[in-house]
Chain A
């Protein structure tokens, strides 16, 4: 078992554990913090796959910007109490069972695919580097890139319009 494999298993366990904590924590603030941990674990996976650009963006955008936004909202609305009234027990159970079934079915379906012989290249390969992605992004994908800026603008306008007091 080399260092890469150890890292892979470690990060996977961290990711799954943190994800479970996200949905089981009573306090929303803890949920946010556990989610940030999950994102860090996933970024670790990105680095392991040598997708450095995405790893950094993931931390900046997700762990940084988005989760801070979540925290802000929770704090501002004073939701950091374990106030959530319990859902119907049976409905909760049904939800968990349904989710579990989905996992089971998907695993069963994907277990025997031909793709399982394939390997994902870890530690090496330079396609995840900023230089390579930037070249591609500003040549082949320049139009979607520009359109996404319009999307941001409209999302911003939308957020302002929805969020403002009448």
Chain B
């Protein structure tokens, strides 16, 4: 597959994530949009990894080029999982305190 297609697909998913972050007020949905953006990046990384592999495989059939990219995806998932656990805990605490997950109530930064 041309790498271009993957790039545009990932861009589309990423931009949808951004639009979601900008338009929604529900903290949980915003959080999910962030996950969506992370996945867009993951997809692109895997696509690049395979592109890299293809480029090197022509010279050396046993090459392991591109493995790094997939491992990065793995680590991103690890970090995302940790992030979700902490983030959701924060949202729970926030709900407990102000009985809402609307980020517009979270304007404490001003004061």
Grouping DSSP codes into helix (H, G, I), strand (E, B) and loop, the A interface class, with mixed when no group exceeds half, is: helix
A72 to B110, CA, bound (A): 32
**A135-166: which residues lie under 8 A (CB-CB) from chain B?**
136-137, 141, 144, 148, 151-152, 154-156, 158-160, 162-163, 165
Smallest distance from the beta carbon of B60 to chain A beta carbons, Å? 12
- Residues of A within 8 A of B (CB-CB), count: 80
Q: In the complex where A107-B11, A141-B71 touch, is A23 in contact with B101 (Cβ < 8 A)?
A: no
- Residues of B within 8 A of A (CB-CB), count: 75
User: Which residue numbers of A lie inside 8 Å of B, CB to CB?
Assistant: 4-5, 8, 12, 15-16, 19-20, 22-23, 28, 31-32, 35, 38-39, 42, 45-46, 49-51, 53-54, 57-58, 61-62, 65-66, 69-70, 73-74, 76-77, 79, 84-85, 87, 92, 94-96, 98-100, 102-103, 106-107, 110, 115-116, 118-122, 125, 127-128, 132-133, 136-137, 141, 144, 148, 151-152, 154-156, 158-160, 162-163, 165
User: Which residue numbers of B lie inside 8 Å of A, CB to CB?
Assistant: 1-9, 11-13, 15-26, 28-29, 31-33, 35-36, 39, 42-43, 46-51, 53-55, 57, 64-68, 70-71, 73-75, 77-86, 88-93, 95-96, 101-102, 104
